[in-house]
Chain A
Amino acid sequence: MAQVTELIHNYLRHNKKFPHVYCAGCGHGIVLGSLIRSVHGLGYSKDDIVLVAGIGCSGRMAVYVDFNTVHTTHGRALTFATGIKMANPKLKVIVVMGDGDAMAIGGNHLIHAARRNIGLTALVLNNNIYGMTGGQSSPTSPEGTVSATAPFGQLERSFDIVDMAITSGASYVARGTVMHVPMLDGLISDALEKPGFNLVEILTPCHTQYGRKNKFKTVVDMYTWYKTNTMKRELYAQKSPEEQQKLTPIGVFRDEGWPGLETRYAQLRTKLQEQESCQSSAN
């Protein structure tokens, strides 16, 4: 308990913006805890971290943490973060987005951030719904689920965030849940330490807007679902295709360690400037 208090005092704007806006049972707070423990464990200085967030309940996280924080526009967090990282590669840039944020309005930015492999850590808090605006469908709402804008069930298929990130060229891609907290701590710490574009999809419940409409009687039912319906990808791989249908694999899906764009750009710049100074001294 004492350690929790210490972390709260050290890393949260505890005397400014609390109580927070999250509903009881919301998974976003668990992600916040995991992020704080990871940053603390890695010994980063708060001054060196920039937390960039989109708009949504997830994006509100930016207000609570005592880092450099930029609460941007809906879906655009990665573009701001790209500018920050290219302008000052020494900064640790963490981007927090919701599933609507990252996959709908910001889908194109996500693809391109992954493609150019800009050195950021992107946390996508996937609750399969638009939480903040009152429970409308998101691109990750599973087929058949009910929402404020799919009252008769979602007809569209949903995105797989991990597959999307891998196909787009991200250097490190993982999936965790708020029900597997030690593992989540590990994944976030891992991602923070890797070069290039790192994405961690985090499955997190929104009982208020998603669970209640989709036959999860209580918040606990939702957490239980994450426990029984996800599986470490190594074990998942051994399951039959029928069993796999019902399960979501979690763990690390790609880990390449490719250098970020900011590093490659700095190398190019150094090379060009050296060539230029050689030429001018030769003249």
Chain B
Amino acid sequence: MATKKRKRKELFALGNEAVVEGALLAGCSFFAGYPITPSTEIAEVMSQRLPFVHDGVFIQMEDEIASMGAIIGASLAGRKTMTATSGPGFSLMQENLGYACMTEVPLVLVNVMRGGPSTGMPTSPAQGDVQQARWGCHGDHPIIVLSACNVQECLEMTIVAFNFAEKYRTPVILLLDEITAHTREKISLPFPDELEILARVAPAMPPEWYISYEETMRGVPPLPPLGSGYRFHVTGLTHDKNGFPTSKPDEVKALMYRQFRKIDQFFYDIQLVDEVQCEDAEIVVVAYGCVARSAELAVHMARERGVKAGFLKLKTLFPFPKSALQPLARQCRTIIVPEMNMGQLSREVKRVNNGLAQVQTINRIDGQIITPSEIFKSIMQA
């Protein structure tokens, strides 16, 4: 082929800035948020960029509850929407996040984790919101939680987050941490034509035939924008397939089961992991976020000493990537899970491991990253 090799545009960007680049490439045209360290740059850069996007809107709301309300409203009006926050704000967002789960409104919520609980350590990294991301809003609900460990991944996983949100008609949480968000690295911007950008399913039928929460093959009902002639009702109450409130057990069951099914049956599409030197590994380190970088380095160090170590990086945290972990649990002797919390994801690892391998945890909650040498030491002792 005689086509000239195109050179991708390169940037020296913060993780937070890369999130914005990813969001804009994914078609995000609406951002509502409230400033909070260490996520603030996302809002600031959005306020700069969105006025230059066709119909782009940036709005600073009065709090994080309002930010969630605004992006849900805008998403219902047909926009791809996003907000960004950190611990205290994430707690405030849970109420309307639950609403988005119940009403199946696509949106992306970026939570840059810092030390907690409460005001905690605003400028220090942590991974303490992992289980809150899974279960923070009340009631049973499926949710997709993703993470990223470097600046290029911040861009890529933001695009994935938007695609999953639209494809599965669900809120998607992107969990970052202070280190990943505030690291400045060289990244390359993909050309728009290199990307697969998904749009939400639009109704194929005329308004008279449209049933807003109809059961479909994929379990994902089409969602037209408000004001497009499809007049329907949206409510956080349990609803029947027409969207109207119901508490009839058979109708409630159908609604809730469909919501779980639409995520569960596409588990293999949603489960994203990277495996490094796992083929013959006897010791596997499972990590995500900034700790993943320490873990990868520690595994290389161990290999240099002839230890059969491998690394499983989780990019999808929930639904938990069980089918990536299970074969490794069968194969290896020890699984090491380093996390900057008291063991929030290692609970999932232990559940899936189910006694197969020995699971060790390395936990830190003092605002310091778990270093490669700490992990290396554990590998060598395992």
User: Contact partner of A84 among B62, B73, B235, CB < 8 A?
Assistant: B73
Q: In the complex, A46 Cα to B233 Cα: how many Å?
A: 13
Beta-carbon contacts of A62-85 to B below 8 Å, as 1s and 0s?
A: 110011111111001011111111
23 pairs, CB–CB < 8 Å, chain A vs chain B: A16-B244, A47-B227, A47-B229, A68-B226, A70-B226, A71-B235, A73-B69, A73-B95, A76-B65, A76-B66, A79-B69, A79-B70, A80-B70, A82-B59, A83-B73, A83-B81, A84-B73, A86-B70, A87-B30, A87-B81, A91-B77, A108-B62, A112-B66
B121 within 8 A of A: no
A84 to B59, CA, bound (A): 12
- Assess whether B120 is interfacial by the CB under 8 Å rule: no
* A86 CB contacts on chain B under 8 angstroms: 30, 57, 59, 70, 74
- Report if B234 contacts A (CB, 8 A): yes
CA separation between A69 and B237, bound complex, in Å? 13
Is the pair B65, A79 in contact by a Cβ cutoff of 8 Å? Answer: yes
Q: Interface digits, B13-37 against A, CB 8 Å rule (1 contact, 0 not)?
A: 0000000000000000010100000
Of A67, A88, A265, most B-chain CB atoms within 10 Å: A88
Say how far A131's CB is from chain B's closest CB, in angstroms.
17
Does the CB pair A84–B77 fall under 8 Å?
Answer: yes
A79 touches B244 (CB 8 A): no
| Cα(A67)–Cα(B233), bound, Å | 8
Knowing A84-B73, A86-B74, A87-B30, the reply to whether A66 touches B244 (Cβ < 8 A) is no
Which of chain A's residues have a CB closer than 8 A to the CB of B32? 83
Q: In the complex, A83→B56 CA distance in Å?
A: 12
Least CB separation from A88: chain B residue: B77
By the criterion of a CB under 8 Å from any partner CB, how many residues of chain A are at the interface?
A: 41
Q: Which residues of A contact B (CB under 8 A)?
A: 16-17, 46-48, 50, 52, 62-63, 66-73, 76, 78-88, 90-91, 108-109, 111-112, 265, 268-269, 272-273, 276
User: CB-CB contacts of B57-96 with A at 8 A, as 1s and 0s?
Assistant: 1010111011111111111111101000000000000011
Q: How far is the CA of A108 from the CA of B61 in the complex (A)?
A: 11
Cβ contact of A69, chosen from B55, B79, B233, cutoff 8 A? B233
Check B99 against A72 for contact (C-beta < 8 Å): yes
Task: Please determine whether B236 and A88 come into contact, CB atoms closer than 8 angstroms.
Answer: no
Q: How distant is B240 from chain A, measured CB to nearest CB, in Å?
A: 10
Residue of B nearest to A84 (CB): B73
In the complex the two chains form, what is the Cα distance from A273 to B52 in whole Å?
6
Q: Which of A88, A109, A273 contacts B225 (CB 8 A)?
A: A88
Instruction: Say which residue of A78, A84, A276 sits within 8 Å of B76 (CB atoms).
Output: A84
CA distance A112 to B226 in the complex (A): 24
B95 nearest CB neighbor, chain A only = A73
B66 to chain A: closest residue by CB: A79
| Residue from the set A16, A46, A66, A87 with the largest chain B CB neighbour count within 10 Å | A87
Contacts of A69 in B (CB 8 A): 231-234
From B62, B72, B225, B231, contact of A66 by CB (8 A): B231
The answer on a CB contact under 8 Å between B62 and A112 is yes
* B245 CB–A CB distance under 8 Å: yes
Q: Which of B51, B55, B77, B236 is the one whose CB lies under 8 Å from A72?
A: B236
B265 within 8 A of A: no
| B242 beta carbon closer than 8 Å to chain A | yes
CB distance from B73 to the nearest CB of A (A): 3
B115–chain A nearest beta-carbon distance, Å? 27
Alpha-carbon distance A52/B236, docked complex (angstroms): 12
Beyond A16-B244, A83-B75, 16 extra complex contacts between A and B, CB < 8 Å: A47-B231, A68-B226, A70-B234, A72-B69, A72-B99, A79-B65, A82-B66, A83-B72, A86-B70, A87-B30, A88-B225, A88-B226, A111-B62, A112-B66, A269-B51, A276-B52
B residues less than 8 Å from A79 (CB atoms): 61, 65-70, 73, 96
Closest to B68 in A: A79
The answer to whether A87 touches B77 (Cβ under 8 A) is yes
Please give, as numbers and ranges, the residues of chain A lying within 8 Å of B233 by CB-CB distance: 62-63, 69-71
Residues in A neighbouring B63, C-beta threshold 8 A: 108
- A87 contacts across to B, CB distance below 8 A: 30, 57, 73-74, 77-79, 81
> When the two chains form their complex, are residues A68 and B231 in contact, meaning their CB atoms are under 8 A apart?
yes
Q: Which residues of B contact A88 (CB under 8 A)?
A: 77-78, 225-227
